[in-house]
Structure 1
Amino acid sequence: MLSSPFILLLFCYRTAASSLAPGQIKNLVTFGDSYTDVVAMADGGTMWPVYAAGYANVSLFPFAKAGATCSNNITNRPFPSVFESQLPAYFDELANRTLPDLIQHETLYTLWIGTNDVGTNGLLTGHGAPGVSLVDTVACAVDWVKVMYASGARNFIFQNMIPLQDTVLYSTDSYLNHYWTEVRNTTDWNVVMSEITKSGNKLQELMLKALVPSLKDAHVGLFDSYSLFEDMFLHPAEYLNGTAPLNVTGCVHSCVYQLNESTADTGVCTIANGTDRDSFLWYDELHPSEQAERNVAREIANIMEGKENRWTTWLS
């Protein structure tokens, strides 16, 4: 009978050995929200999937859409959700042959979702469907892996939620802005968002670990976006390289709103230009800056190139 230390060593070996091989990945297919949408460009510039595909010299097939949640049946927003819009679009393109016949061994699928599910006009402000909770939004995201696996996909990167409490929108020093124009308790929002992101990410990890034994021949990597952004927040000099003083509490495009008698005005905006932009962690009150996206892109590119990656845990 194998001893416990040996079993543990074997498990660690198999987990490490399941990472992608150099030169294996030729295609990147992305799903998610504005953090990944290459058309809306919520970072004010080029989005991480474009950079990552360029760094790793792979073909990009983007399906993420700004404003998306995992499912509008859970958190209903007037945007193209993963299950009601993005997945149907992907399968339609496959059926219509507008999407190339991807070789699954050479294709990596990514999902980065959750920011809208748990935030304003989502779970945080009580805008989920009756009776839904964080468990439902996380389970929905894990179901994406099941659906894609059933369609033939075998290589997955699951990107967890960033520390949203560190964004301008959910910070204790937040102000009225485009994303929320009503008075709120910023300290309460900050505390609750910290709890939501940490709890949601742990639920994701546990649910994925429970799922992977049923996914024969699949490679599932959990990309720790939370820890990467936390590290950028705590050690900006290692990640930001702009010409202005490094800034992780403000943003490139800041618009402060003032309350009128009935509603907010259009806001007073301050905008950083040129290379000063690369000194900021955040582009606006909710979205990462282009420089932050470059950092994400480099890490995802490393994964696609089969390199060791400190932010990724291979679950299978």
Structure 2
Amino acid sequence: MRGSLSLLIAASAVVVKAGPWVTDFKNLVAFGDSYTDESRLSYFIAHNGTAPPPGQLTPFSNDTAGGGVTWDRWVADYTGAMLYDYAVAGAVCDNDIIYRVLSSVVGPFPDVVYEIGAFEDDISYINATTKSNTLYTDRGADNTVYSMWIGTNDLGVNAFITDSSLHSTLIPDYIDCIYNKFDAIYKAGGRYFVLMNTAPLQLSPLYGVPGAGGVSVSQYWPNKKPQSQYNLTEISYKMKEYTQLVNSVFAYRTPFEMLIAKRYPGAKMAVYDVHSLLTDVYNNPEQYLTSPVNVTAPYNMCDAAGNCTQSALSLDHYMWFDDLHPSEKTDQAIAHEFVNLVNGNSTYATYY
């Protein structure tokens, strides 16, 4: 054990990035939940729970959970990269761990297991007319980046924070799921991976402390306050513990998988510390948002029944669109730093 730890420390010491990480960035393939999805859940809802067919690119939309353009679409706009967005709002990593039902899709929210399957179907798709793949026209090992940002729903209400997991599963099972999904991406030819760590959810209105923006009732947790077993401050600190626990595991496990276990030979992975970036947005909002800034109250305030009132100020003044989702302006900050990551010069990324 001691020898393995020494090897890990020594190997980690070589993780120094100089120059572009991806020299020819042409494609971004994104997996995740509502923090990333721009139109896939909307397709499911509009088609009675049916998924987009293989070979069909989901369209751009600014009608998203964050109230505007998503971070991954901003990345595509800033770089000219093609975006393939498989994220589904409401997703968890695996519905066998966390199972959350949405009536409008006639079942559970599609999970990352589904997302990976949809990606695999798309890369093997052959157009009947052209006899070729008309969706992925220029996907190479050296020009395509695969991002994974999942955990907000896994850790949240009706999931781990409310002790609602299935089959006696624990947070380590959710973490295992993420690396298992990178296995599938690697098998499909992926070689540039970005693992985005969990957001500081304890700073969001949904999980914040009372007096600092934390809400006692939310459309995402209608019965939060009436249940006497839930102490609002305890919820916030429990969420802080969960996100920091997960991120610590990412920080230590990723170099182990990449450098010691050599789980993905020939591949490169960057851990994007979105947690620290969003914490900086919270603590230094004038650097990211339009003045006057607001990092505690949401722009779109909704009651338990989903009746919402929007601020008289525009969305660019706010860190949070609603109780849980970062605003478009916050997504722009995430995107700018993602571009820095791809260019190899992000202070919020660790490269392996």
- Same fold? TM cut 0.5: yes
- Alignment partners' CA distance in 2, 1:14 and 1:207: 14
- Alignment partners' CA distance in 2, 1:294 and 1:181: 30
Match of 2:66 in 1: 43
| Alignment partner of 2:282 out of 213, 233, 249 | 233
Q: CA deviation at 1:10?
A: 8.4
Match of 1:152 in 2: 189
- Alignment partners' CA distance in 1, 2:148 and 2:179: 10
Instruction: Judge conservation of contact 1:19–1:219 (CA < 8 Å) in 2.
Output: no
Residues 1:204 and 1:14: Cα distance change in structure 2 (over 3 Å)? closer
Residue ranges of structure 1 left out of the alignment (5+ in a row): 1-6, 258-264
Residue identity opposite 2:300 in structure 1: H
Which deviations, in whole Å up to 9, do the C-alpha atoms of 1:230-265 show, x marking residues without a partner?
1111111111115xx2111101101134xxxxxxx4
Residues 1:103 and 1:169: Cα distance change in structure 2 (over 3 Å)? same
Indicate the RMSD between aligned Cα atoms, in angstroms: 2.0
Residue identity opposite 1:38 in structure 2: E
Residue ranges of structure 2 left out of the alignment (5+ in a row): 1-7, 43-63, 101-107, 126-132
Residue identity opposite 2:290 in structure 1: N
Asked if 1:118 corresponds to 2:155, the answer is yes
Q: CA deviation at 1:288?
A: 0.3
| Alignment partner of 1:252 out of 286, 299, 304 | 299
Which deviations, in whole Å up to 9, do the C-alpha atoms of 1:109-136 show, x marking residues without a partner?
0000000001001111121113111111
Match of 1:271 in 2: 310
Instruction: Judge conservation of contact 1:175–1:256 (CA < 8 Å) in 2.
Output: no
- Alignment partners' CA distance in 2, 1:65 and 1:207: 26
Q: CA deviation at 1:212?
A: 0.7
| Alignment partner of 2:333 out of 281, 286, 295 | 295
Instruction: Judge conservation of contact 1:254–1:284 (CA < 8 Å) in 2.
Output: yes
| More off after superposition, 286-295 vs 40-49 | 40-49
Instruction: Judge conservation of contact 1:252–1:283 (CA < 8 Å) in 2.
Output: yes
| Alignment partner of 1:172 out of 181, 190, 209 | 209
Listed as ranges, the matches of 1:205-224 within 5 Å are 205-213=251-259, 214=262, 215-224=264-273
Instruction: Judge conservation of contact 2:18–2:344 (CA < 8 Å) in 1.
Output: no
Q: CA deviation at 1:21?
A: 4.0
Q: CA deviation at 1:296?
A: 0.5
Query: Secondary structure of 1:71's partner?
Result: coil
Instruction: Judge conservation of contact 1:236–1:246 (CA < 8 Å) in 2.
Output: yes
Structure 1 length as normaliser, TM-score? 0.88
- Alignment partners' CA distance in 2, 1:295 and 1:120: 26
- Alignment partners' CA distance in 1, 2:117 and 2:181: 12
Residues 1:139 and 1:8: Cα distance change in structure 2 (over 3 Å)? closer
Match of 1:181 in 2: 222
Which deviations, in whole Å up to 9, do the C-alpha atoms of 1:155-178 show, x marking residues without a partner?
011000011000000012212110
- Alignment partners' CA distance in 2, 1:223 and 1:18: 17
Query: Secondary structure of 1:248's partner?
Result: coil
- Alignment partners' CA distance in 1, 2:177 and 2:9: 31
- Alignment partners' CA distance in 2, 1:171 and 1:10: 38
Listed as ranges, the matches of 1:25-174 within 5 Å are 25-39=25-39, 41-77=64-100, 78-83=108-113, 85-96=114-125, 97-101=133-137, 102-173=139-210, 174=215
- Alignment partners' CA distance in 1, 2:267 and 2:19: 9
Structure 2 length as normaliser, TM-score? 0.79
Residue identity opposite 1:82 in structure 2: V
Q: CA deviation at 1:67?
A: 0.3
Identity of aligned residues (%): 32
Match of 2:320 in 1: 282
Instruction: Judge conservation of contact 1:108–1:157 (CA < 8 Å) in 2.
Output: yes
| More off after superposition, 61-70 vs 135-144 | 135-144
- Alignment partners' CA distance in 1, 2:161 and 2:178: 18
- Alignment partners' CA distance in 1, 2:334 and 2:323: 19
Residue identity opposite 2:323 in structure 1: E
- Alignment partners' CA distance in 1, 2:25 and 2:346: 15
- Alignment partners' CA distance in 2, 1:109 and 1:193: 27
Which deviations, in whole Å up to 9, do the C-alpha atoms of 1:48-106 show, x marking residues without a partner?
111111101111111001000000011112111001x1011001111113531511110
Counting helix residues as a fraction of each chain, which structure ranks higher? 1
- Alignment partners' CA distance in 2, 1:130 and 1:8: 35
